Chains A and B, each alone.
Chain A
Amino acid sequence: MITTASTVDPVEPAAQRSIIFADGYLNKLSGERIEYECRRRLETGCRELELNFSNTEIVNSIGISILLGVIDTASDKGARIVFSEVNDETVELFEMLGLTKHVVIE
């Protein structure tokens, strides 16, 4: 199932693997919506969650915090998190802050 944070159907059951596009939402308080959506999918059976960063140029501290929230929830549920299409600069940031210890970068 592929969705962006802005086009979510709240009643649709999640598939085993879901893709969510981070887009520009991540770096603001409104990015909590992405975290909420990830949690919803993890709670409805999703076991592999892909976060796609193709439209995300930079990730700031708020974005990191939101991603940590997703990682924490996935860890509790025993799910796998994949970050895809992440640019080099952001990968470096994820490595520096230890996020790469918890996710797979594709």
Chain B
Amino acid sequence: MAEHSHKLIHAFGALAELGHEITNKNNFQETIRTSLHLISGALGIMRGSVARYSRFGHELNMLAIRGLGDDFPLSLSLCSEDERQFLSNGLNPIEISQAKVLPFFQVYDSSFERRSLELFVPLVVRDEIVGAIFLGEKASGDPYTNYEKEIICAMGHHIGVAIAQRNLMAEIERQAEQNRLLFDEMRSTYHDTVKAFAAAIDCKDKYTEGHSVRVGKFSEIIAAEMGWGNDEVEGAAVAGYLHDVGKLTVERKIINAPYRINAKESAELNKHPSVGFEILQPIHHPFTDVPLAAKYHHERLDGRGYPDGLFDREIPYIAKIVNLADSFDAMTTDRPYRARRGAKDVIEDLQRNAGRQFAPELVTAFLGGLLKELAGENREKRFRRLLGREYMETEGIRDKLRYTLNEMAPTTPMTYVAAAASVSELPIH
């Protein structure tokens, strides 16, 4: 009786350790190896193994093995559906010597006999076989008692749950990876579609070829310079690409008029932000502000913009970004009725209209980005690709930018006073 209690306490200790091992987030292989040690050590079992069931190959693949020798098969096939069904009926130890009527035990009989395997324990979780434990003879040489089989079942249940959890995690990881690939594919398709739209919009206006694409890229630069995250920067780019989508419904002769258009034509043209909103609104964009950027990219901080004459805080921020990018591109490209404006002139315009048309912090960020590239602090050549080398090498442009930024935000590090060789180098106006 005392020995029986002693055995029970020892086995319960192993069971407690097994529970602790399974719930700890250890390496799965180590968990299974430890589990096999615990089950062997709890009852003094000479040898054994733990296998995971693969429902794809209908195989029991060994995860941990002890004392079964190099010639013991590492993968055991469970071919028969009836047999699989039988084994998944419940977690009950099967005495191998009594189970030789089943094909599985006939096929592997010699391997089992060679290493004196006595028990086969199917690991069943939610009526599905997830693995099996093979157990050899006991060190005492005694047969397994019923209470020992119950302990084995309890431990087997823990091990089965660990394997099922691992299978579930592997499945989740596989699905997550598939979702990620699908998402990347959809994202790529979305961007290609956006770019195709931008190209379609730009085709309509032969004088502003590439305008939408450039506004997209300038918007991207502004958002990046504002320190936005990758997704937001991407959203700003898309908003820029699509801001003029409403122009698709405006007559080509108005868009391409080589003169200043009259009031009626202007009214027609000025509908394009609202039309753009109507086109973009029903689409489920990954970036929610895209339709708003199209609708409000001609609004001004001073309320003199269109279509709704909104003031400063009433204007969605993304629209302020696209407005700046749109205006900058309009000023720096040739139009049918005027040539592109010089770099210094454009910088002055942006400064003059900061707080009127443009959000001042956006102008500061944008010009700061331009200065960084000119000073070699940013080697991506984002502006150079869009404006051309000649434009970027306008004489005195760097000093002009430093001076402008200093005037716009004299108390912040964005002023680049420190970046100038000395304050005396700044141009005096």
Task: Check if B7 is an interface residue, CB within 8 A of chain A.
Answer: yes
CB atoms of A98 and B41 under 8 A apart:
no
Task: Check if B44 is an interface residue, CB within 8 A of chain A.
Answer: yes
Contact indicator per residue, chain A 56-67, by CB within 8 Å of chain B (1) or not (0): 000011111110
Complex CA–CA separation, A61 to B46 (angstroms):
12
CB atoms of A97 and B37 under 8 A apart:
no
CB atoms of A65 and B36 under 8 A apart:
yes
Q: Which residues 12-36 in B have Cβ within 8 Å of A in the complex? A: 13-14, 17, 30, 33-34, 36
Q: Which of B33, B42, B45 contacts A29 (CB 8 A)?
A: B33
CB atoms of B3 and A61 under 8 A apart:
no
Task: Check if A79 is an interface residue, CB within 8 A of chain B.
Answer: no
Complex CA–CA separation, A105 to B37 (angstroms):
23
Complex CA–CA separation, A73 to B140 (angstroms):
17
CB atoms of A64 and B41 under 8 A apart:
yes
Q: Which of B3, B6, B38, B138 contacts A65 (CB 8 A)?
A: B38
Contact indicator per residue, chain A 35-71, by CB within 8 Å of chain B (1) or not (0): 0000000000000000000000000111111101101
Q: Which residue on B lies nearest to A31, using beta carbons?
A: B37
Q: Which residue on B lies nearest to A59, using beta carbons?
A: B41
Query: Contacts of B38 on A, CB cut-off 8 Å?
Result: 61-62, 65
Task: Check if B229 is an interface residue, CB within 8 A of chain A.
Answer: no
Q: Which of B6, B17, B33 contacts A96 (CB 8 A)?
A: B6
Q: Which residue on A lies nearest to B44, using beta carbons?
A: A97
Q: Which residue on A lies nearest to B43, using beta carbons?
A: A97
Complex CA–CA separation, A54 to B325 (angstroms):
80
CB atoms of B47 and A97 under 8 A apart:
no
Task: Check if B10 is an interface residue, CB within 8 A of chain A.
Answer: yes
Q: How far is the CB of B370 from chain A (nearest CB, A)?
A: 61
Query: Contacts of A73 on B, CB cut-off 8 Å?
Result: 67
Complex CA–CA separation, A29 to B66 (angstroms):
13
CB atoms of B67 and A29 under 8 A apart:
no
Q: How far is the CB of B200 from chain A (nearest CB, A)?
A: 64
Query: Contacts of B7 on A, CB cut-off 8 Å?
Result: 96
Q: Which residues 61-100 in B have Cβ within 8 Å of A in the complex? A: 66-67
Contact indicator per residue, chain A 12-31, by CB within 8 Å of chain B (1) or not (0): 00000000000000000100
Instruction: Give chain B's interface residues, CB within 8 Å of chain A.
Output: 3, 6-7, 10, 13-14, 17, 30, 33-34, 36-47, 66-67, 138-142
Instruction: Give chain A's interface residues, CB within 8 Å of chain B.
Output: 29, 60-66, 68-69, 71-73, 92-93, 96-99, 101-102
A sample of 29 cross-chain residue pairs with beta-carbon separation below 8 angstroms, ordered by A number, consists of A29-B30, A29-B33, A60-B13, A60-B14, A60-B17, A60-B41, A61-B39, A61-B40, A61-B42, A64-B40, A64-B44, A65-B36, A65-B45, A66-B37, A68-B40, A68-B44, A68-B46, A68-B47, A71-B139, A93-B6, A96-B7, A96-B10, A97-B10, A97-B43, A97-B44, A97-B139, A98-B44, A98-B142, A102-B139
